Structure 1
């Protein structure tokens, strides 16, 4: 299936790769179906693209690559909602705000995206016990692992 994207033009996707965000994303509660599109394999970044609307796409990053001690607990309710059976099925991303230069860009550590890749279910959560994680954490250097 082909979709139009915000950053990559028209791309071919596999329908089985569509991730459903039952509650949408913060501020986009009606937008439910997204797909992850890879960027440069050497960067801990990807695109989260709406399947229905080309103009809705986000650069997302692997937060542990930018803050090595980043950690949080997933609530029991979120665990059930995302049908998580094994921790290795879960990917965590955070939305990136791109600026003119990469060094000026930020990553949202306060509201990560949790994705069960096995069940193709996702949810954006707002961390309540946020350990002072900011909405706009500077992405100036990679300090953690991209894996």
Structure 2
């Protein structure tokens, strides 16, 4: 299937890799179908691209790569909505705000994207804890991790 993308132009995707957000994303409730595209060779950053709206794409990252003690406790309703049965079924991504220079970029650790990668159901989950913010500087977190 061909789609038009924000960063890669026209791209061929496998329809079986489409991720379904039954409730859309906050601010984009009508957008329910997305696909993950690799942004770089090392795979740290990916793009969560709408399969319908060309300009709707979010740079995302696995928060556990940058924040060693990142914790996420999903409510039972989320586990049911996404049909999560095993912890290994879960993929967690954080939306990144890319800044110049790149080292100043931030990630939304308060509202991660939770994906059941076995059935491709997903949801943006807002953590009720005040421990994380929508603008965590991920590279500073990574530097702290390396120093320790």
TM-score (structure 2 length as normaliser) = 0.92
The 2-side partners of 1:80 and 1:41 are apart by: 34
Determine whether 1:109 maps to 2:113: no
1:83-117 deviations in Å (ceiling 9; x for gaps): 01221111000100011221111000000000001
Specify the alignment match of 1:63 in structure 2. Answer: 63
Matched, 1:135 2:134: yes
Shift of the alpha carbon at 1:64?
0.9
Unaligned runs of 5+ in 1: none
Give the RMSD, CA atoms, in angstroms.
1.3
Secondary structure of 2:139's match? Answer: coil
Q: Kindly indicate whether the alpha-carbon contact (under 8 Å) linking 1:102 and 1:139 is maintained by their aligned counterparts in 2.
A: no
- The 8 Å contact of residues 116 and 122 in structure 1, kept in 2 or not, is answered as yes
1:41 Cα deviation from its structure 2 partner: 3.4
CA shift digits 1:6-49 (9 cap, x unpaired):
11111100111101001111111110000001122324210000
- What residue is the counterpart of 1:81 in the other structure? 81
Aligned-partner Cα distance in 1 for 2:69–2:138: 14
Structure with larger RCO (C-alpha < 8 A, sep 6+): 1
TM-score by length of 1: 0.92
Q: Which ranges of structure 2 fall in alignment gaps of 5 or more residues?
A: none
3-state secondary structure, aligned to 1:140: helix
